[in-house]
Amino acid sequence: MNKVLNIILISLFSLTVISCSSSDTKTTTSSPLYISVGDNGTILTSSDGTTWTSRTSGVTEKLYGVTYANSTFVVVGATGTILTSSDGTTWTSRTSGITTPIWRVTYGNDIFVTGGGNGRILTSSDNGTTWTSRTSGTSNYLNSVTYSNSTFVVVGQNGTILTSSDGITWTSRTSGTTQDISGLTFGNSTFIAVGGDDIDLDNGTILTSSDGTTWTSRTSGATNAYWGINYGNNTFVTTGTSGSILTSSDGTTWTSRTSGITNHIWGVTFGNSTFVTVSYAGEILTSSDGISWTSRTSGTTNILYDVTYKE
């Protein structure tokens, strides 16, 4: 009888150990994180979009774009600057091979792809460590890039739109506009590109496409130029000059929203049920619906150009 009881006790102890081990494994998952980048090598991080912490980037260049994919943050900026990080805190400088500005970066089809000055496109298949220059077929600035529907789309100066299935070979598309296109996203089965006159900061331009190839001009109802756009909570949010924000559920009809600020708003992201925008004077705004916005303390007055979110 004692032998049977000992066996039962040993079995129960083993199950308890296994159960505790399984629970510990679940709690080791990484935490949500917003990251914003800007002037003078500025990098800020936040777990909630409300409280922000400054991080050491190791550079003083302007940092224009940031994305997260494949367990890696990649930041791009002026003079060919590229930084990578696994946690958003410790950053490593990478060699891009170019000295022109890199505006934005995205990930898809197992590679990171950047868009930058003088039509420069770079790709990396090893988590941003080494980069290869690709032929874009244009010398126009390439301001934004995204990947969805098995397609990379790049947009830029003078209405430039390029598409690629692999990030290596690119095809020029007809946008129907000569305005500069600065922002790009995909949501609700639709690519949306936004822009305007980057000199006079007007002529707000919004284009939509289901495939990245054929584009349709939409009426924004506003004259401001727009630079940032993202999709979340069944809503497109685009940001631009003089604190302007527009929202749309379908990309066709747009409504102006009150941001509460007058500085230019550059980038916008969505994550953890929250939109986060960043602006010219280091201002950060958050919103759950894209309609009502709350100002947050960033701790910097440097220009913030972009923001991203990782789960």
Q: What is the pLDDT of residue 30?
A: 66
Q: What is the pLDDT of residue 200?
A: 83
Phi, psi of 111 (to 5 degrees): -140, 150
Is-contact 123 111, C-beta < 8 A? yes
CA distance linking residue 191 with residue 209, whole number of Å:
5
- pLDDT tops 70 at residue 17: no
- Helix or strand run (H / E) with residue 227: strand 226-232
DSSP state for residue 50 in the 8-state scheme: S
List pLDDT tens digits, range 22-67: 333 223 346 899 999 999 999 999 999 999 999 999 999 999 999 9
pLDDT band at 199 (very low <50, low <70, confident <90, very high): confident
CA distance linking residue 47 with residue 53, whole number of Å:
9
- pLDDT tops 90 at residue 198: no
Q: In the chain, count of helices (H) and strands (E)?
A: 1, 28
DSSP state for residue 32 in the 8-state scheme: P
Is-contact 291 254, C-beta < 8 A? no
CA distance linking residue 60 with residue 78, whole number of Å:
10
State how beta strands 72-77 and 63-69 pair: antiparallel
Q: What is the pLDDT of residue 232?
A: 98
The full DSSP string for 98-147 is --S-EEEEEEETTEEEEEEGGG-EEEESSTTSS-EEE--S--S-EEEEEE
In this structure, what token pair is assigned to residue 103?
Answer: 């505006």
- Helix or strand run (H / E) with residue 12: helix 2-26
- pLDDT tops 90 at residue 181: yes
List pLDDT tens digits, range 56-104: 999 999 999 999 999 999 999 999 999 999 999 999 999 999 999 999 9
pLDDT band at 223 (very low <50, low <70, confident <90, very high): confident
State how beta strands 151-156 and 142-148 pair: antiparallel
CA distance linking residue 185 with residue 192, whole number of Å:
6
CA 85 to chain centre: 15
pLDDT band at 219 (very low <50, low <70, confident <90, very high): very high
Statement: 39-310 belongs to CATH 2.120.10.80: yes
CA distance linking residue 198 with residue 200, whole number of Å:
6
In this structure, what token pair is assigned to residue 89?
Answer: 């805190």
List pLDDT tens digits, range 269-303: 999 999 999 999 999 999 999 999 999 999 999 99
Q: What is the pLDDT of residue 212?
A: 98
- pLDDT tops 80 at residue 126: yes
Side chain identity at residue 310, one-letter code: K
- Count other C-beta atoms under 10 Å from residue 45's C-beta: 18
List pLDDT tens digits, range 249-276: 999 999 999 999 999 999 999 999 999 9
Q: What percent of the chain has pLDDT over 70?
A: 90
Q: What percent of the chain has pLDDT over 90?
A: 86
* Mean pLDDT along residues 193-199: 92
Q: Average per-residue pLDDT in the chain?
A: 91
Q: What is the pLDDT of residue 201?
A: 83
User: How distant, in Å, are the alpha carbons of 2, 10, 66, 71 from that of 56?
Assistant: 63, 51, 15, 20
CA distance linking residue 127 with residue 224, whole number of Å:
36
